[in-house]
Structure 1
Amino acid sequence: MTDGWNWQQPDGGRPSGQPGPRPMPPSSGVPTSPMPYNPGPAPFGPAPSGPAPFGSPPSGPAPASPWWSDALGDPWRDPHAPAAVVLQPTVTGAAEPEAVVDPDAPKPPGNRSVLLVAVVSALLAGLLGGSLGYAFAARNGIGGGRTALGGNGASPPAAANRPPDSLAGVAARLLPSVVTVRVASSSGSALGSGFVVSADGYVITNDHVVEGGGTQTFTAVFSDGNTVSAKLVGQDPESDIAVIKLAKDGLTPVQFGDSDAIAVGDPVLAIGSPLALANTVTSGIVSAVDRTIQAGDPGGPVRYYAAIQTDAAVNQGNSGGPLVDAGGRVIGVNAVIKSLAADEQSAGNIGLAFAIPINQAKRVAQDIIDTGKARRTVIGAKVTSGRTTGTGVRLDSVEPGGPAESAGLRAGDVVTRIDKHPLEEAIDLIALVRKYAPGAVVTVEFRRGSETQTASVTLAADAQ
């Protein structure tokens, strides 16, 4: 065998061509072989015959050394490595014998019992702490995926049932009869509201919603999204009432209330499409009745209203929509708002909205449907615009044979009340007179000189 570096023949030779071993360098220090035993001369003469005493060196040839005496003939030896004998240090003292433990002997309890008690105590403490924590969390509503929220009412309150006379019930009943009115013409488009007043498709809206020149097309959009084409039947600019006819029948008309029977504080709903937001319902109360209003664009018709004032939110787009009482009956047509804005386009609700009384709107609409135009109610006198000294409205002239002259009124008289409504300026007299139907009899209180008198005046329709 060979390690590839020092290969010898079995007979101790080397293969041909291989160099012989290098001569060993002289060693120093430890000898390369053990020293032979020489006991020296015996101190007490020749040794006795018989067995050698214990500890004496053996006689005869020296025994073979236990060390590497044949190192030079070892085929695995590195011939260049020096040989040395390493001697272990001699132990001078005797070591303590190792104690032997009997594996079958019973072991003392030691720490095992203490460890067991500690583990059991920790488990009991954890169980108790967890139980107390859960009870605290459950009591305070913390954690738990099934925590109940809210109280458990036995039955919903009556208001939650939405009876027909509730505000929600009224709104649900009225919405199918309210439409969004869209007007398109060569000059632009407009949007307002309206409500169905007959099963065959007549709809009341405001004149200022449908006014405009050129060719116009009208459409009405119901609360369910259905769109129906319409045509203009007629309009009355001074009362701000117009009527359109839908190309559809079998509709559900609204119910009319009595605008003369309402009182301040009555709850109301305003329904329409403010700012194009269809099917909007707002609520409020009647803030005032017979609030006289003059409105109109410069160069356009002047409109007079003895209006119902409400704080229900009304904005642009509500015009022509219904003002409804708590019973779901229409008592007015939303028409005008007061605003602090400098221009109409930026005007918005501030809680001051005004509706044309339905008794007046219904009468004008009926005239338009029947004759194509509305009659205008007059008292047969001309008045001075603005305020007069003190209270009341001064009559500048009286038409011969007219209602005022027939009742005994003269030019220069100062009318202070109509049917107990106080008058402060000419707008009050005009708006209140037009609220009534032609042929209505009103009580007029007037002042002539220092005397206060009353007269019954039968109002009439103008000649136009």
Structure 2
Amino acid sequence: MPDRLAPRRAVAPEPGAGQQTAFGRPESVPGSFSDDRPRMPARPVPPPPPEALIRAFGPGTTGGRGLQEPPSGRPGRRRTAAGPWWKSDARSDPWRDPYAPAGLGAPAVYPDEAAEQAGPIVVDPKGRRKVRLADVSVRLSALILLAVLLVGAVGGGVGWFLTRATPESPLLSPDTTLTQVDPGITREPGSVSAIAAEVMPAVVSIEVRVGQGGATGSGVVIDGDEGYIVTNNHVVSGADDVEGAEIRAVFSDGSGSEARIVGRDPASDLAVIKVEKPGLVTAALGTSESVVVGDPVVAIGSPLGLAGTVTSGIVSALERPVRLGGEGSDTNAVISAVQTDAPINPGNSGGALVDTTGALVGINTAIASLGGNGTTGGSIGLGFAIPIDTVRDIAEQLISTGSAVHSSLGVNARSVTDGTRDGALVLNVEPGSAGAEAGLREQDVIIAVDGDPVGSSEELVVAVDRHDPGEEITVEVVRGGSSQELRATLDAA
């Protein structure tokens, strides 16, 4: 039986007729390739070296290997053992004969010079000094240990003696007097401290109690002889015509007095109360025309019930339309406010905003907050005050008649924009109102009043309220893609 695992010669199968036709050699071609194929040029044969080079560098005998003998035919007589040339082993030196066999020798061995040195201090091959503890004598080791212990004992004894010998100072020292220095501080006129000292007596805290609830605010004395105090409507509106409600004014000296409501104006968020306490300090009233953006101002009031709080800042903007709506109040006002960055918080309402002369330029009324709630939010540097000219006009009307009169166009509107122009879209027109008589219609967009641009419903209210009842104004509207002007005589509201 033949061995199945023995190597066998592979025998290629005979090609078929189709393979022979496709891959076979044509009958007209005698060899593997055609005779007319391109051929590589033959390598040139270098010429033989000159005879002088053969005699100088060639081997001594035909077929010989290695180096030739010196020119004299034998080694020189004065060759020494250290001579570099023609030693007895020159023919087998691999650095002389490239055909000599190569071999590895034993690894290099370096003597431990430090081990041969005597004593505890030795020098290593790199020149560094080292201490061999094995060579340190027992006597020397004991001497070093005793020296360390002696130094520690002496240091500890000295420290203990010093702590026992130095007496402790007493905790109490009777009749001690601290050094007092008088720096001689000079406060210039117009400083915040000087303004606060002048205006503080004219600013009061207002406490309102209704049943079990209550609220606090601020107010400013505008007539000390008669006891009139101006404040915000939303501060005292909850106590008007409510049985058992109480309003109390607390002054800077800590005294207090019961107050009564003289009049309220929800359309401007102003109110006047009266106390029966003669000889009050009256605030000096300024003018709105004297206020410009960037003027320093000081706010004084009772934020969060903290009476007599003073903050300072500047006038950030003027004639800022701000809509007011006090929570739990009938206030529904739009004011042309003085904007300030003086910190104002809940409780500052009704307080004073004064300039560097101490003149009242506004009544602090509202703040803007990130949460959108000016009642519970804190100051973020956006406070609003009613301008003093508006305060004076409304306060005089409230003291005279108990109510205030405003101009009215008789339309309800909301703010709109088309991307290029802003305006106030008329939603409805009251029948028989000034707007109806002027020909205003729903879907009209009011863009100007007496030539002053109107960009929102708040600006429309401010522009109308700037005029007196019975005054005729020009209203520019956009209707059907084109603008036109209408004349309207304002009503009293």
TM-score, with length taken from structure 1: 0.59
Equivalent in the alignment of 2:217: 192
Q: Report the CA distance between 1:237 and its aligned residue.
A: 2.2
Q: Counterpart amino acid of 1:312?
A: A
Q: Secondary structure at the match of 2:414?
A: coil
Say whether 1:365 aligns with 2:391: no
User: What are the ranges of 5 or more consecutive residues in structure 1 without an aligned counterpart?
Assistant: 1-146
In the aligned structure 2, how far is the partner of 1:265 from the partner of 1:441?
Answer: 35
Equivalent in the alignment of 1:177: 202
Q: Report the CA distance between 1:219 and its aligned residue.
A: 1.5
Paired residue for 1:383, among 382, 392, 412? 412
- CA gap of 1:417–1:260, structure 2 versus 1, over 3 A, is farther
Check conservation: 1:174, 1:328, Cα contact below 8 A: yes
Say whether 1:237 aligns with 2:266: yes
Q: Secondary structure at the match of 2:400?
A: helix
Q: Report the CA distance between 1:290 and its aligned residue.
A: 1.9
- CA gap of 1:327–1:455, structure 2 versus 1, over 3 A, is farther
In the aligned structure 1, how far is the partner of 2:298 from the partner of 2:489?
Answer: 35
In the aligned structure 2, how far is the partner of 1:214 from the partner of 1:456?
Answer: 47
Equivalent in the alignment of 2:300: 271
Check conservation: 2:411, 2:435, Cα contact below 8 A: no
Say whether 1:257 aligns with 2:282: no
Say whether 1:433 aligns with 2:458: no
Q: Report the CA distance between 1:349 and its aligned residue.
A: 0.6
Q: Secondary structure at the match of 1:293?
A: strand
Q: Counterpart amino acid of 1:242?
A: A
Per-residue CA deviation, residues 168-218 of structure 1 (Å, 9 max, x unaligned), is 332222111111111122141111100011121000011111122442212
Say whether 1:283 aligns with 2:312: yes
Q: Report the CA distance between 1:412 and its aligned residue.
A: 4.8
Per-residue CA deviation, residues 388-438 of structure 1 (Å, 9 max, x unaligned), is 544111334555765446667665543223466543322321244335544
Per-residue CA deviation, residues 77-107 of structure 1 (Å, 9 max, x unaligned), is xxxxxxxxxxxxxxxxxxxxxxxxxxxxxxx
Within a 5 Å distance, the mapping from 1:37-76 to structure 2 comes to: none
- CA gap of 1:381–1:238, structure 2 versus 1, over 3 A, is closer
- State which drifts further: 303-312 or 202-211: 303-312
- CA gap of 1:300–1:346, structure 2 versus 1, over 3 A, is closer
Per-residue CA deviation, residues 260-317 of structure 1 (Å, 9 max, x unaligned), is 4422212111110111111111111111122222232567533322211110000111
Q: Secondary structure at the match of 1:195?
A: strand
- CA gap of 1:442–1:354, structure 2 versus 1, over 3 A, is farther
In the aligned structure 1, how far is the partner of 2:278 from the partner of 2:252?
Answer: 16
User: What are the ranges of 5 or more consecutive residues in structure 2 without an aligned counterpart?
Assistant: 1-178
Paired residue for 1:210, among 208, 231, 236? 236
Question: For the pair shown, which has the larger CA radius of gyration, 1 or 2?
Answer: 1
- State which drifts further: 187-196 or 258-267: 258-267
Equivalent in the alignment of 1:338: 368
Q: Counterpart amino acid of 1:218?
A: I
- State which drifts further: 266-275 or 427-436: 427-436
Q: Report the CA distance between 1:353 and its aligned residue.
A: 0.7
Equivalent in the alignment of 2:152: none
In the aligned structure 2, how far is the partner of 1:436 from the partner of 1:172?
Answer: 37
Q: Secondary structure at the match of 1:384?
A: strand
In the aligned structure 2, how far is the partner of 1:442 from the partner of 1:286?
Answer: 31
In the aligned structure 1, how far is the partner of 2:471 from the partner of 2:387?
Answer: 16
Within a 5 Å distance, the mapping from 1:152-171 to structure 2 comes to: 160-163=186-189, 165-171=190-196
Q: Report the CA distance between 1:458 and its aligned residue.
A: 5.3
Check conservation: 1:305, 1:435, Cα contact below 8 A: no
Paired residue for 2:426, among 389, 395, 398? 395
- CA gap of 1:364–1:187, structure 2 versus 1, over 3 A, is farther
Paired residue for 1:354, among 384, 390, 394? 384
Say whether 1:316 aligns with 2:346: yes
Check conservation: 1:381, 1:395, Cα contact below 8 A: no
In the aligned structure 2, how far is the partner of 1:435 from the partner of 1:205?
Answer: 21
Q: Counterpart amino acid of 1:252?
A: V
TM-score, with length taken from structure 2: 0.56
Q: Secondary structure at the match of 1:169?
A: helix
Q: Counterpart amino acid of 1:209?
A: V
In the aligned structure 1, how far is the partner of 2:244 from the partner of 2:315?
Answer: 39
In the aligned structure 2, how far is the partner of 1:321 from the partner of 1:299?
Answer: 20
Within a 5 Å distance, the mapping from 1:410-425 to structure 2 comes to: 412-418=443-449, 421-425=452-456
In the aligned structure 1, how far is the partner of 2:243 from the partner of 2:480?
Answer: 53
Q: Report the CA distance between 1:319 and its aligned residue.
A: 0.5
